[in-house]
Structure 1
Amino acid sequence: MNDISYVLKQSPPPVPPMKLASKEECQNYARHYEDDLQAKCLILTSLRKVLKKQHKHMESSCAMVDSLHKMHDIETSNVRFANVCSLLNAKMAKGTSVQKHGQKMEKIFQDLESLGTSIDGKMAQDFFLASLSDDFNKFIVNYKVNRFDHTLTEMIDICCEFEKSFKRDSGSENVIIRKRLHKKKARKSK
């Protein structure tokens, strides 16, 4: 079987005028026509029903491939846009686990990467830090002031440790505050 992939990259040659065309021109045209017909059949058998209807009347396999590329680019563009919107709107809800939030952010970055839109490490750090809840304000300031540089996975782990200490400390602060209020109430009642 001869290689027919050339027909996917180039449009068919113009139909040679019968009386003026050389034998070689007629043979080249006939070969291209046959190869193109074979390529069109192969393409159509690999398409879903809806796409078959849209493409079966196209004049060349090259036109079919161009159309499919345009459709794929539009679809990719829409998915990329949705992921960028998710990234820009990703804000960690108060009380949500930073681990779950971090995994969600990692998934968005991976999806963008698979679509050909990579976000470098520093930018990913900034997006992640900006998406954290207000409970992490001290952490963010400390991270930025000390100019730490970690991968996203390392940052999520560090945030998980901070979250544990934050919950532990806030619990003890609440106990101290409750004790102080209890002492004030006891003084007022005397």
Structure 2
Amino acid sequence: MTDGTTILDHMMKLNKHFQDLEGFGTLFDLDFKIGIIFASLFDADGSFIMNYHMNKVVVKNVSELTNMLVEAESTLKNSKVVALVTEKASQSSKNKNKKRSKKGKKGKSIRVKKG
């Protein structure tokens, strides 16, 4: 599957390849076709594939799987993705907190190490 291609276009292309090969006399089991389809999808579709296997979904043909994938694609497009971005503390700010100096009784600096 290429970037920017919809699931529907991709599935139509794969279905045509299956039909062309079956026209030459090669027969494919439905489970084999599903395996090929899942292998051709992006990693982003991994949650769909995992749910498919965990829920032991049974489909009668590739068209039914296509409808499920199209529905999942539209659901993913409509959902908003929230990312948490944090800034890494700089090394110099960590060193400032570790080493502090305190003044002794006679005004001399004494290093005190925290931690």
Q: Tell me which interval the TM-score lies in, with the shorter structure as reference length.
A: 0.5 to 0.7
Cα pair 1:94 1:135 within 8 Å, conserved? no
Structure (1 or 2) with the greater helix fraction:
1
Matched, 1:168 2:78: yes
In 1: Cα distance, 2:65 partner to 2:25 partner: 24
1:139 correspondence with 2:48? yes
Q: How many residues align?
A: 85
2:69 matched to which residue of 1?
159
Shift in Å, 1:129: 1.0
Q: Which structure has more RCO (C-alpha within 8 Å, separation ≥ 6)?
A: 2
Cα displacement string for residues 129-153 of structure 1 (whole angstroms, at most 9, x for unaligned residues): 1111111000011111222121111
- Please tell me whether Structure 1 or Structure 2 has the larger radius of gyration of its CA atoms: 1
Structure 1 contact 139–162 (Cα < 8 Å) conserved: yes
TM-superposed deviation, 1:126:
0.9
Q: Which amino acid in 2 is paired with 1:164?
A: S
1:111 is aligned with what amino acid?
A: D
Identify unmatched segments of 5+ residues in structure 1: 1-91, 185-190
Distance 1:148 1:173 in 2: 27
**Counting strand residues as a fraction of each chain, which structure ranks higher?**
2
- 1:173 deviates by 2.0
Task: Give the deviation of 1:154 after TM superposition.
Answer: 0.7
The 8 Å contact of residues 98 and 163 in structure 1, kept in 2 or not, is answered as yes
Percent of residue pairs identical: 32
- Give unpaired runs (5+ residues) of structure 2: 87-115
* 1:104-157, Cα deviation, whole Å (9 max, x unpaired): 000010001110001011111111111111110000111112221211111111
Q: For residues 166 and 122 of structure 1, what CA distance do their matches in structure 2 show?
A: 25
- Measure, in 1, the Cα distance between the counterparts of 2:4 and 2:75: 14
Query: Are positions 1:107 and 2:55 aligned together?
Result: no
> Structure 1 residue runs of 4+, over 3 Å off?
none
Give the secondary-structure state (helix, strand or coil) at the position aligned to 2:69. helix
Describe the superposition over 1:61-80 as per-residue Cα deviations: whole angstroms up to 9, x where unpaired.
xxxxxxxxxxxxxxxxxxxx
| Contact 1:113/1:119 (<8 A) preserved | yes
